[in-house]
Structure 1
Amino acid sequence: MAGLRISARLRLAYVSALFQQRISFIDKLPVGRPTTTITTSANLIQAGIGDKLSILVQSLTLVIAAYVVAFRYSWSLTLVSSSALVFLLLLLSITVPLFMKLQKKVDFANEKASSIAGEALGTMRTIVACGAEDRLGSRYAGWMAEARRRGLRISPVMGIHLSPLHFALYCNFALTFWFGIRQYSRGNVEDVGEVVIVIFSVLIVVSAVSSIASPIMAITKAIGASEAFFEVLDKPSPSSSGLREPEVSATKDIKLNNVTFSYPSRPSVKVLNNLSLRIPAGKITALVGPSGCGKSTIVGLLERWYQLDDVLEPLKISTAEQNSKNSDEDQSVAVDTIAPNAGFISLDTTNIIDLDLKWWRSQIGLVQQEPFCFNASIYQNVSYGLFGSKWENEDETIKRQLVKEACHEAFADEFIDRLPQGYDTLVGENGIKLSGGQRQRLAIARSIIKRPAILVLDEATSSIDVRGERIVQEALDRVSKNRTTITIAHRLSTIKKADKIILLKAGQAMEEGTHEELLSLEGLYYDLVMNQQLEMEGDPSSPERVEEDVSDPVLSKAISEKRAENDILEVGEESIKPKSLINSVGLFLWEQRRLSLLYLSIIVGAAGCGGRHKGISTRQPETNLFVAGFSVQSFIFAHLIQTFQLTGSELLNRADFWALMFFILAIAVFFFYFLLGFSSVSVSTHIATIYRQQYFEGIIHKPIPFFDKEENSTGALTARLSSDPTQLQELLGPYMAFPLISLFNIIGCIAISFAFGWKLTIVSVFSAYPILILAVFIRSRYELRFEKLNNAVFAESAQFATEAIGAFRTVTSLTLEDSINKRYSDLLQNQVRAAFLKARHGCLVFAAADSLDLGCMALCFWYGGQASGQFGSLTPNMAQASEAANRIISLRTSPGHDDSKAPGSVVELDGGAKIEFRSVSFKYPTRDLPVFKDLSFTVVGKLRSFPFSRGSIRDNVMLGVDPATVTDEEVYQACRDAEIHEFIQSLPDGYATDVGNRGLSLSGGQKQRISIARALLRNPQVLLLDEATSSLDSESEKLVQAAIERTAKGRTIVVVAHRLATVQNADVIFVFGELHTGRWGKRECTKGSGIVEYGDHRSLIRRQGVYFEMCKSQALDR
């Protein structure tokens, strides 16, 4: 319980400390590190300070007590007998640090693999769209191979650790008897009982010291694991206190004064360059300009995610990583520590750095370019905006009313009211169950619900359809009145009514004024407007190609078939029956039968080590390991005791002989323990890395609906991928040999027992063993249930923490840190309370199992029964490994995508591929309402979301493409077509520039252009651009559009867009709209989406229908 409580507090302290750090620190953390820290690292610490610590304390107590007894009877014999203790301490001082050093290198490789997994699992739709599963699997396999290579270096260390240790123990046994006999024969010891007492007292000391080895090893791992915790806990937290109301007021002008800023990840690239501007209070100020000009950077500075007085420091890296860097790299890091930031931002005359951080953020309502939704209900997501406001502690009824009003203003109630659960509908991880426009409307509602003094809209309507945009824009215009509003937009129709428009370029303000004033200048802003101009005149010569209420399944047919297939797959997955520990581990061992030589070595080593001394406790295997080969040892020991009946030279001769036999046994034990330690660690390393790789590959090849389930969120899967193979490795290490050693020990002991006294043996076997086996069975069942509960709850808390850390910007902008910490604390405390209730019953079971051991010994006074209790010490590891093994098997063997039947490429057709949808009805597995019903028309592939994985720009452009088949020039040409090549070349590292976690080093427009280059590089016959230019400025969009049109020959291109200027040159335009209300199953609901008009731009304009009205809404001259 102490280990559980402390690990829970560490997890909470870690998450709390993370949210107190600057965003620059969070951005540098590898994606998988926080998850690995609060799962695998926390579990290692829990193990190190749990039963292992109690064994350490118990062993040290025994050492003191045994020495007191031994010195009481014979100090000279005690000193001689303690010679092995010095050797053991010297051995541990060498092997433990060496083990720590090697383990850190293994942990570093595992962390790199976890980083790859964390990024991949968070962007599965992009991975699948690019067909990059195999490539990511190869990258992951590369780090697993490195982890295996480094892990195998621990094998000889384990052998060296175990073999000299037990060799010294047996030599000490021989020495003690030899010296004790001589002391007895010389009369220095009056009673033979004194010799026996000293011998056993010192042996207890030596065995206790040897039993310390395992706790020390576990504590060593815990110390290594704690490094990740203290890297965050020991880092100073920036001060967040300062001025607040009534000392200052948020209804004042905001000024940027000579601001120069560079991101910590790219200190040599100036994003803002001596920028000065004023944002008037109570007015609407719009920021426009090319991608990467610094618009979103200003938002980050206003939110104080980054501060102008920061000195950029590189993230502290692990020792293993430092060792892998050369001196040149170290020098380059040192250069980056000098920040070029300058200037300040003020609220009226007060520097915003002097403001109370939480108060300042509570005054800002922010809608980000890529809005984040928590895995909670719609009501909870919107109500999070109330934190830090005067309504934070209001009654639930009042909060719900405020949420409804905010959603109405944001035009979100339009879709919420049609959902079966309404405001209580769960949105899934990152709002996956909602469309982009729906997520954006929820984000707007969340930002305006607290009626902030400052409203920041970073592309707030970029994913909303034209009709919704008009309504939402009207709502935003209403809430912006008499409120300081900063609007960032590429769609210029949304900001033409702004009181002030500032055009940025290269980090400087180039033009500012109203829409009309800037147009009259005919400068940069005028060019942007012209690029977005819509032609509003119809061409009389265009054929009439308009039709109303036509059903349309373009994007649906492939998806609906895939979803139907996935429904079948999911049923198959759920029907997989869990295997027992023996079956699951046996399956792993059988599949890796190429390691049969190592298996044989383990069996031979276990047979040679087959036995346990009475030892200290049955709770820990190593505690009882100090006398190996007990079947032989007991025979020698019996003869040594008999020598005390002799006298004179015969006594000395027989004592010398049997002491020599103990020394020979020590040599044999040296060999067997080295073989056992080396082989068991080698097997566990091979199996753990192989199945960790298979685990990952099994996950990324699952169908997309698998990732839509709450239990399969990114955080939960990353935690399981990190912890489950580790649990398996813990069992299949030296622990795997303990049951074998016990088995051989039982057989040997029973055989010798029958030889010496068959009657007592029968009493022992038939009285002790059934009782011990029953006790072990009951304890094992309890441990299995407890570990299942433990894993489930910690998985839930890890999932929550991972999601919160991933949404760091959203959490801090909403001042949700305290709420996140409280909920995370509640989750952990619930687990601790549940564990405490379980532990009360478990202690009774454990005490009974332990006391039965002693009771049976008292009845039989024979050691053989002791070995059965050994299995009870393994039950915690067995319970954890059983759950982990079943999860690995279920994901690996459950049905996934079967790509073997899919053709290698699309059939070559003149003019591109043609895909037709006929009468498609479709709904998502995680939603009840239909998306399409009886939809029919022709459509194609997909490119939309642009999540990035950590790595260079080149790596991201080539995602899903075999590097061996693509030349540098082809990569450069794809980037030229996407209008991103010149920007990449301007970076200090060019195409080798690290984009950071999920591309955070790049602007939204830059990420979008790289995503377009990624799609063009694949040279697809079918290209679907789903809002692919929504984050681009007008000039870049026009150039990219021209590049796409140039490469359109022989390619089918489908463009999904809300910005209608991007589709006006399309050959045919399908206008989707909501169809009439009908029945879906037993529920009255909308029929879904369908085509209401189609034709080319001019014919649709001449028709003056739905499309015409949409164009009017976006026309900048109306």
Structure 2
Amino acid sequence: MILGLCCAMGSGVALPLMNIVFGNQVGTLNQYSTPRSTLQEQHFRQTINRNRYKTVPGFVLTYFSMVTFRLISLKASATLRIEYLESLFSLPISRLDEISSGTVTHAITSLSNQIQQSVSDKLAMLFQSFALLVAAYAIAFRYSWALTLVVSSAILFVLLGFSVTVPFFIKAQHRVEEADQKHASVAADVLASVRTVFSLGAEASLARKYSAWIMEAKQRGAKVSIVSGIHLGLLFFAMYASFGLAFWFGLKLFRDGNIDNVNTVITVFFSVLLVVTVLGNIASPLMIISQAIGASRSFFDVIDSRVSPATGAIGFDPYNPGDITFNGVSFVYPTRPKSQVLRKFHARFEQGKTTALVGPSGSGKSTVVALLERWYDLKASTDGKTMEMIEGEIQVGGVSIDRLDLQWWRSQIGLVQQEPVLFNTTIMENISMGLAGTQWEGSAESVKQEMVLTASKEAFADDFIQRLPQGYSTLVGEGGISLSGGQRQRIAIARCIVRQPSILILDEATSSIDVHSERIVQKALERVLKNRTTILIAHRLSTVRKADHIIVIKDGINLEEGSHNELMAAGGVYSSLVHAQELRDIPNSGSDILKDQESSCHLLAEKEESVTTTPTDSAKNDHQAPFDDRGKPGSKHKPPNNVLLRILKEQQQNWVLYILVLCGALGASSAFALQSWLFAQLVQVFQYTGDRLVSAANFWALMFFVMALAMAGFYLLVGYCSNRISLSISWFDREENSSGTLTSRLSTDPQQLQSLFGVSGTFPLISILSVIGCIAISFSFGPKLAAVAFCAGTPFLFLGAFARIRYEMKFEAINTEVYAESSQFASEAIRAFRTITSLNMEKAILRRYSTLVTQQRRRAMRKAWYATLIFAFADSFELCSIALTFWYGGRLLASHEYDVVSFLVVYVAIIQGGQSAGQFLSFGPNIAQASASGQRILGLRHAPGLVANPLSTELMPSDDADTDTSVQLRRVSFNYSSRDAPIYDGLSLKIGSGQFAAIVGPSGCGKSTIISLLERFYQVSSGEILFGNKNIDSIELSSYRSSLALVSQEPQLFDGTIRDNLLLGQAGSPAVTESQMIQACQDAEIHDFILSLPEGYNTALGVNAQAALSGGQKQRICIARALIRKPRLLLLDEATSSLDSQSERLVQAALERLAKKQDMTIIAVAHRVATIQKANRIFVLGREPQDKCTRLLESGTHEELILKQGVYWEMCRAQTLDEAIE
């Protein structure tokens, strides 16, 4: 840092020192050109030749300055990213719930890039300019303090203007950043639930919501544009007015005899000129640094609020922890302070025994888990209103858990949650993550692998893992998207088992597993549970009947407790829940038809796709939802040519603003050419005497003032209009144009592109036009000297510019690749924060993230050393051009071929042109980043292969009583594009109109793939799917999906109110009345819960609020959302798995009634047979050992299949609760 600072300041001092040389040379030149001069030609040539070589020190200083600050920026950016994520992990869960993954992604990509850019180039320029200011002032005061003070009044004017505009600019820019974070959060939610969005037809409504925040950012940015215009207008008015003031007062001092010659005036003038010019040149860097300062607030708000980890004494022997007790615990979530979750809750979880928690959805079961994991603190509230509602104590072995070291306490707990969270790495690494924070964390890899294999076998996961092509080295995709729900759950169980915890918490741990697998996993868990304190939460009561103790909880109160037999005998709440899940009588038989259905499924091709997805579904798999095999997002599309011109062409609504900006840029760029001519005229004035001197001085000084007024107007126009343009470029931000991109790219690409079209991009335009203007006036006044100066210097300048932009584009490509990976990883970690904390993985996650960021930094640093040589050469070549021009111009003057005016016009134009070219070079990174962003955006828009068939123009018929809603699969074959093995080969199913059909089978046999094909997320390889006797591919996609409703296994809600979520995707449909919405919620058994909330249907469902909802509550909202659509075909993919028995039964009855009433066909995928026993048709999918593909094993009604005593019969036996039946 010190080296870079010294070099930057040293390179800044070089130009002011040249002013002394230049002043002496102009004095010599003026004296030589004056009539009757006594200066000899030989002496004049010696003075000129003495200053030819002064560029080497400038080159060395510039190089080390640039490379040092480039290295500092890379290190600072990487450190800031790591510190930010580390600080996020230290925050309490209640605070972290307020931060969406989109906000995190926006911070560590877009905002950190701003900071890196400001440090890399702009901060170095700022230090260089500071040194230049000090040196120039010192020289100016040395030659004439009076002239310096007078001219400095313009600088005072500039500083006063800055003191008003800069703080306002920073504040306004911060408000824009807040709006940017909002639309980044919306984008993250959409990209994480892209199939839900498509199934609801909600692309347009969510795009409007996204666009609304874009427009909000535009409106807030309008204030920034006004400030920018005023800022630039004041600055350049002061700069050019000072020129006229300097010469007017300098000539006055010269006339009065206070200055001896023109040398002093020129030295002072150019020194002050440098000061004012630098103030002008640093306008754009100052704006970028101001934006970076505003961006850094988002980082430091989190970093400064870092919480030290809770430490304490380790209070018990891990092998003898003692009982866990809840003593009068009351709790409310921060977002719902009026809704009591637990009310004076008392419970005892005995050491070494299994205690089950059962009860309706939203009764507080998962809150017990959250408090045990210490995600929320019973003693943290300082709000007087909630103090009375948060009380009690949780103890283990008689010691309050608040007194235990947090990391150690969590290492004693093994947690498997209802919605399993896997990370985008291999299966081996996912399971071994369970060893984090344990005594085996530092063990040898061979030991860890052996533990992982043992845990996988116990969790019944080893069998399907071994059948995968890469086995334990298989990448699971983000969120485990490449595995079925049951497979993900078994890996999560294995990850828990490998920890060998003293306390085990299973929160609906087997809800996603098929019947047979659940039975085997349950036996494995029974072995694992021995001698461990276990808390078991379940809706499927077959999994809790063998628990040592069962606690029934409702509305946060312990209603009853005891063993299964005791509670059944009591005939209370538990008994009624059990009877609600009982199947009808099943004949007993000694046959065992279903041997090992799971092991017979060759899982190489049995990938059961979950209908919900994560961003990796778009990023990592080449069979993603919006694309078919012809348009794989993973494939490289040739980016469109002339990216920036294409974007400009599409901005027709802004052409008036572009014309105004171009006019302003033309006017502003003319200043340098005019200035060279005015300067030459003023220098010539020193040859005059008497009245002619006075009149000429006044006239040309006034011309400078007139030019200052004109420049103020031009820059005011440039600043205002260009910023207005930059904030309206939002065409590429619409959701329908970005569903296949990562959230990080959606955050950074628009910002980088608008930087080129905004005020920052106008300065390079002015620079280019200024160079052209300087070349034109130079050739007009002195073609011979201009040809030598520009032909010798300009090619090198532009060659350097080209090399720099090319390098920056390559650097940006590397940046994009690596930082996109790291930002995706960080976003994934934030979404899975509860899983990470429960596994004590914070340090491991930070190490991995740090490794990703550090690797990129090192690659960039290696390139910076040699690439900066070109940049430094281009930047320092200005001095070489100046020396060459003065040397050759001196020869022309000595031979009397040129006069003073011609020489000075060319010379000053060379100086100004070089400065303009240098300013253009400083924007190389901006241009490179914008070009790369434009290529990505247009490349995405022109990606081929959309699933929507362009020939699918037929619309769905209007609703009427005779509408055919039958579904047929005719000889359907299908395989995922990434796998050769087919899922189906000639599968045929037929479901009658208005029927309730069910699809059952083991995990991974392709049940949910049928749902995906019906939603047209994929296209069949052969065969056809009919809906209402029409091939679904012939129906217009949006019209087709408007007739469908999908409820997935994992509920997906979006930021907004409950009402917004319920009505999502209803745009363009008949308006939904309040009564219809309420009826749908009543059918979904969620109406009463919504009314219990303070804001009712207007309750906001932000990140924090959703965290306070149970899985069942979120699922019932999704069911109500589906019912509001009044679909002809309702698809349920394990839709009621998160509901308690009573709610499930009521919802199921409501669906059956609606199906008959509305002639709606229902297709349900289910593991829990009790939910589909009333189906009109049940299809059992699976594979026999000899099968290569999934096939239809049997079909019929519940009674028919039971009489067959086949596969379905065995599934029913496995779920039967009545011991007499067994």
The number of equivalent residue pairs is 1046
Equivalent position of 1:17 in the other structure: 87
1:524 aligns with 2:556: no
1:479, distance to aligned residue in structure 2 (A): 0.5
Does the C-alpha gap of structure 1 residues 136 and 666 become closer, same or farther in structure 2, counting only changes over 3 Å? same
What SS is found at the alignment partner of 2:90?
coil
Does the C-alpha gap of structure 1 residues 277 and 557 become closer, same or farther in structure 2, counting only changes over 3 Å? closer
Task: Map 1:711-730; keep pairs closer than 5 Å.
Answer: 717-730=742-755
- Map Cα deviations across residues 505-549 of structure 1 (whole Å, 9 max, x no partner): 11011111111100000010110011011112469xxxxxxxx99
What SS is found at the alignment partner of 1:308?
coil
Equivalent position of 1:370 in the other structure: 419
794, 799, 814: which is aligned to 1:774? 799
- Map Cα deviations across residues 158-183 of structure 1 (whole Å, 9 max, x no partner): 11111121111111111111111011
- Normalised by the length of structure 1, the TM-score is 0.90
Equivalent position of 1:435 in the other structure: 484
Q: Contact (CA 8 Å) 2:601, 2:1185: kept in 1 or not? A: no
Q: Contact (CA 8 Å) 2:418, 2:507: kept in 1 or not? A: yes
1:836 aligns with 2:888: no
Over aligned residues, Cα RMSD in angstroms? Answer: 2.6
1135, 1139, 1162: which is aligned to 1:1028? 1135
Aligned residue type for 1:822:
R
- Map Cα deviations across residues 857-895 of structure 1 (whole Å, 9 max, x no partner): 221243345244443222111111111111111122223
- Map Cα deviations across residues 397-443 of structure 1 (whole Å, 9 max, x no partner): 22111111111111111211211111111110100111111111111
1:961 aligns with 2:1071: no
Equivalent position of 2:1211 in the other structure: 1110
1:499, distance to aligned residue in structure 2 (A): 0.5
1:605 aligns with 2:664: yes
| Cα distance in 2 for residues equivalent to 1:899 and 1:24 | 46
1:943 aligns with 2:1047: yes
| Cα distance in 2 for residues equivalent to 1:341 and 1:437 | 37
Aligned residue type for 2:753:
L
1:764, distance to aligned residue in structure 2 (A): 2.2
Q: Contact (CA 8 Å) 1:129, 1:943: kept in 2 or not? A: no
1:638, distance to aligned residue in structure 2 (A): 0.5
Instruction: Judge which range, 154-163 or 144-153, deviates more.
Output: 144-153
Instruction: Judge which range, 571-580 or 250-259, deviates more.
Output: 571-580
| Cα distance in 2 for residues equivalent to 1:953 and 1:742 | 53
| Cα distance in 1 for residues equivalent to 2:326 and 2:702 | 87
1:347, distance to aligned residue in structure 2 (A): 0.1
Equivalent position of 2:457 in the other structure: 408
1:802 aligns with 2:827: yes
Equivalent position of 1:576 in the other structure: 637
Does the C-alpha gap of structure 1 residues 761 and 183 become closer, same or farther in structure 2, counting only changes over 3 Å? same
Q: Contact (CA 8 Å) 1:374, 1:803: kept in 2 or not? A: yes
- Map Cα deviations across residues 739-769 of structure 1 (whole Å, 9 max, x no partner): 4323432333233223322211222232222
Instruction: Judge which range, 344-353 or 910-919, deviates more.
Output: 910-919
Q: Contact (CA 8 Å) 2:356, 2:549: kept in 1 or not? A: yes
What SS is found at the alignment partner of 1:566?
coil
| Cα distance in 2 for residues equivalent to 1:869 and 1:561 | 45
Equivalent position of 1:467 in the other structure: 516
Q: Contact (CA 8 Å) 2:332, 2:386: kept in 1 or not? A: no
1:807, distance to aligned residue in structure 2 (A): 0.6
| Cα distance in 1 for residues equivalent to 2:548 and 2:715 | 81
Equivalent position of 1:708 in the other structure: none
1:355, distance to aligned residue in structure 2 (A): 0.7
1:904, distance to aligned residue in structure 2 (A): 4.1
Equivalent position of 1:1084 in the other structure: none
What SS is found at the alignment partner of 1:841?
helix
Instruction: Judge which range, 471-480 or 994-1003, deviates more.
Output: 994-1003
1:338, distance to aligned residue in structure 2 (A): 5.2
Equivalent position of 1:1039 in the other structure: 1146
1:651 aligns with 2:693: yes
1:921, distance to aligned residue in structure 2 (A): 2.3
What SS is found at the alignment partner of 2:657?
helix
Does the C-alpha gap of structure 1 residues 630 and 870 become closer, same or farther in structure 2, counting only changes over 3 Å? same
| Cα distance in 2 for residues equivalent to 1:7 and 1:556 | 38
Q: Contact (CA 8 Å) 1:358, 1:388: kept in 2 or not? A: yes
1:770, distance to aligned residue in structure 2 (A): 2.3
- Map Cα deviations across residues 758-805 of structure 1 (whole Å, 9 max, x no partner): 211222232222222222222222222112112221111111111111
Query: Radius of gyration: which is bigger?
Result: 2
| Cα distance in 2 for residues equivalent to 1:1024 and 1:503 | 32
- Map Cα deviations across residues 277-322 of structure 1 (whole Å, 9 max, x no partner): 1000101111000111111110001111111112167xxxxxxxxx
Equivalent position of 2:1118 in the other structure: 1011
What SS is found at the alignment partner of 2:1138?
coil
Equivalent position of 2:1004 in the other structure: none
Does the C-alpha gap of structure 1 residues 523 and 464 become closer, same or farther in structure 2, counting only changes over 3 Å? same
577, 590, 599: which is aligned to 2:649? 590
1:692 aligns with 2:744: no
| Cα distance in 1 for residues equivalent to 2:106 and 2:753 | 16
What SS is found at the alignment partner of 1:974?
helix
983, 999, 1004: which is aligned to 2:1106? 999
Q: Contact (CA 8 Å) 1:906, 1:913: kept in 2 or not? A: no
| Cα distance in 2 for residues equivalent to 1:564 and 1:784 | 31
Task: Map 1:575-974; keep pairs closer than 5 Å.
Answer: 576-579=637-640, 583-610=642-669, 629-687=671-729, 689-693=730-734, 696-700=735-739, 717-861=742-886, 862=907, 863-864=909-910, 866=914, 867-895=916-944, 896-898=946-948, 901=952, 903-905=954-956, 910=962, 913-938=965-990, 942-944=1046-1048, 945-962=1050-1067, 965-974=1071-1080
| Cα distance in 1 for residues equivalent to 2:633 and 2:365 | 49
| Cα distance in 1 for residues equivalent to 2:355 and 2:626 | 50
| Cα distance in 1 for residues equivalent to 2:307 and 2:113 | 26
Equivalent position of 2:1091 in the other structure: 985
Equivalent position of 1:617 in the other structure: none
Aligned residue type for 1:770:
P
Equivalent position of 1:456 in the other structure: 505
Does the C-alpha gap of structure 1 residues 96 and 39 become closer, same or farther in structure 2, counting only changes over 3 Å? same
Does the C-alpha gap of structure 1 residues 555 and 399 become closer, same or farther in structure 2, counting only changes over 3 Å? closer
Aligned residue type for 1:643:
V
| Cα distance in 2 for residues equivalent to 1:505 and 1:995 | 23
Does the C-alpha gap of structure 1 residues 132 and 69 become closer, same or farther in structure 2, counting only changes over 3 Å? same
Does the C-alpha gap of structure 1 residues 405 and 728 become closer, same or farther in structure 2, counting only changes over 3 Å? same
1:928, distance to aligned residue in structure 2 (A): 4.9
Aligned residue type for 2:985:
K
| Cα distance in 2 for residues equivalent to 1:1077 and 1:72 | 98
Does the C-alpha gap of structure 1 residues 719 and 533 become closer, same or farther in structure 2, counting only changes over 3 Å? same
Q: Contact (CA 8 Å) 1:553, 1:936: kept in 2 or not? A: no
Q: Contact (CA 8 Å) 1:260, 1:342: kept in 2 or not? A: yes
Q: Contact (CA 8 Å) 2:136, 2:275: kept in 1 or not? A: yes
Q: Contact (CA 8 Å) 2:482, 2:609: kept in 1 or not? A: no
| Cα distance in 2 for residues equivalent to 1:685 and 1:928 | 47
What SS is found at the alignment partner of 1:15?
helix
| Cα distance in 1 for residues equivalent to 2:802 and 2:256 | 52
Aligned residue type for 1:691:
F
1:562, distance to aligned residue in structure 2 (A): 9.4
Equivalent position of 2:368 in the other structure: 298
1:1073, distance to aligned residue in structure 2 (A): 1.7
What SS is found at the alignment partner of 2:467?
coil
What SS is found at the alignment partner of 1:169?
helix
Equivalent position of 2:180 in the other structure: 110
Equivalent position of 1:318 in the other structure: none
| Cα distance in 1 for residues equivalent to 2:649 and 2:793 | 34
Q: Contact (CA 8 Å) 1:455, 1:480: kept in 2 or not? A: yes
What SS is found at the alignment partner of 1:1064?
coil
